[in-house]
Amino acid sequence: MTKIGFVGLGIMGRPMARNLMKGGHEVIAYDIVPRLVDNAVSDGAARAGSASEVAAAVDFLITMLPDGPQVEDAVLGSGGILDAAKPGSLIVDMSSINPMVSQKIGAACAAKGVEFLDAPVSGGEPKAIDGTLAIMVGGKQEAFDRAVPVLKLMGASVTLTGPVGAGNVTKLANQIMVACNIAAMGEALVLATRCGIDPELVFQAVKGGLAGSTVLNAKAPMVLDRNFKPGFRINLHQKDLRNALLAAEANKVALPLTSLVQQMLMALMTQGKGDCDHSAIVNFVEQLAGIEVKRQAAAAV
């Protein structure tokens, strides 16, 4: 049994920490929101009063936070993880952040003799609960080998994609493909609906062909049911696409489709839909057409 620190206990972090405990590990948990720590304690975790308190108690620590500034504060800030982390300990940041921030944090950790991996995830809350996330890792092979047994308790696939920062580059690539896929699905189903075709039948007809995808299978039923309960929120996906565009600018890469979908997400956030599931990207297209994509009522017998 390994004693594992876990900082960040929100919609993703809590079920991930729970799966570590199901795997037989002791978890010491902290979040700046006391209620979230209470939730983790009710699951069986031990309570810590700060990020540095977690770091002082463990040799293996996971962070799962909203964005780069929060990770920087938790790791590099006053009273943060590096203030108390022991040389030889391992920090695995599973947040989705700008790769350049991951590299900055990794360099600061290396200067103190602390190993660092960036290991963002894909799959949203359902796969966090199931322990079937896709985990994309950047860092040294030795640190990766050390982390794999723990990461496999939270993910169905764990892949080392390159040095520190590569995990988040891979995650940004993932988020581009997911967002553009949802937007294309929305346009297709809106067109079908406007043409008088049952969008559910269109979904059933195309899902087994080349247009079929995990995204389509997961998100089309949500749209048809008008269920936008968040598995992955619009405001978080907008953050990921913003980070993708920042990385693209730094590397002189044009991402026209990503830019367009990021603006769609921004518009939805302005309308108060930032906490909706990212399947609600379809709402943007629906508004332009003045229709809704939904299941059609069964015909009366």
More confident residue, 65 or 1: 65
Region for residue 103 given its phi and psi (left: phi exceeds 0; alpha: psi -120 to 50; beta: otherwise): alpha
The verdict on whether 171 is a catalytic residue reads: yes
For the domain made up of 3-163, give the CATH fold. Answer: Rossmann fold (3.40.50)
Distance CA 107, CA 284 (A): 41
pLDDT at 151 over 70: yes
**Where are the domain boundaries for CATH 3.40.50.720 in the chain?**
3-163
pLDDT at 202 over 70: yes
**Where are the domain boundaries for CATH 1.10.1040.10 in the chain?**
169-289
Residues with Cβ < 8 Å from 131, sequence gap 6 or more? Answer: 19, 22, 153, 154, 155, 156
pLDDT tens digit sequence for 30-71: 999 999 999 999 999 999 999 999 999 999 999 999 999 999
4 strand-pairing partners: 27, 60
Model confidence band, residue 168 (pLDDT cutoffs 50, 70, 90): very high
Average of pLDDT values for 207-234? 95
Model confidence band, residue 224 (pLDDT cutoffs 50, 70, 90): very high
Distance CA 106, CA 108 (A): 5
pLDDT tens digit sequence for 235-245: 999 999 999 99
Average of pLDDT values for 129-141? 97
Helices (H) and strands (E) in the chain, counts: 14, 9
- The pLDDT score that the predictor gives to residue 299 is 45
Closest CA to 166 of 91, 105, 102: 102
Report whether 255 contacts 218 (CB < 8 A).
no
Q: Which two tokens stand for residue 206?
A: 């195309």
Distance CA 33, CA 30 (A): 8
pLDDT at 124 over 90: no
Q: How does strand 90-93 pair with strand 115-118? A: parallel
Give me the chain's average pLDDT, please. 96
pLDDT more than 70, % of the chain: 98
The enclosing H or E element of 27 equals strand 26-30
Determine which one of 104, 127, 171, 239 is catalytic: 171
Q: From residue 73, give the alpha-carbon distance in Å to each of 80, 116, 172.
A: 7, 16, 22
Closest CA to 29 of 54, 56, 60, 55: 54
Residue in the structure block whose two tokens are 């599931």: 277
- The pLDDT score that the predictor gives to residue 298 is 58
Chain-centre distance for alpha carbon 172: 10
- The pLDDT score that the predictor gives to residue 172 is 97
pLDDT tens digit sequence for 258-301: 999 999 999 999 999 999 999 999 999 999 999 999 998 754 44
Model confidence band, residue 1 (pLDDT cutoffs 50, 70, 90): low
Q: How does strand 3-7 pair with strand 26-30? A: parallel
- The pLDDT score that the predictor gives to residue 77 is 95
Residues with Cβ < 8 Å from 149, sequence gap 6 or more? Answer: none
pLDDT at 176 over 90: yes
Report whether 28 contacts 12 (CB < 8 A).
no
Hey, is 91 helix, strand or coil? strand
Q: Assign 3-class secondary structure to 37-50.
A: HHHHHHHCCEECCC
DSSP character at residue 33: S
61 strand-pairing partners: 5, 91
For the domain made up of 169-289, give the CATH fold. Answer: N-(1-d-carboxylethyl)-l-norvaline Dehydrogenase; domain 2 (1.10.1040)
pLDDT at 155 over 70: yes
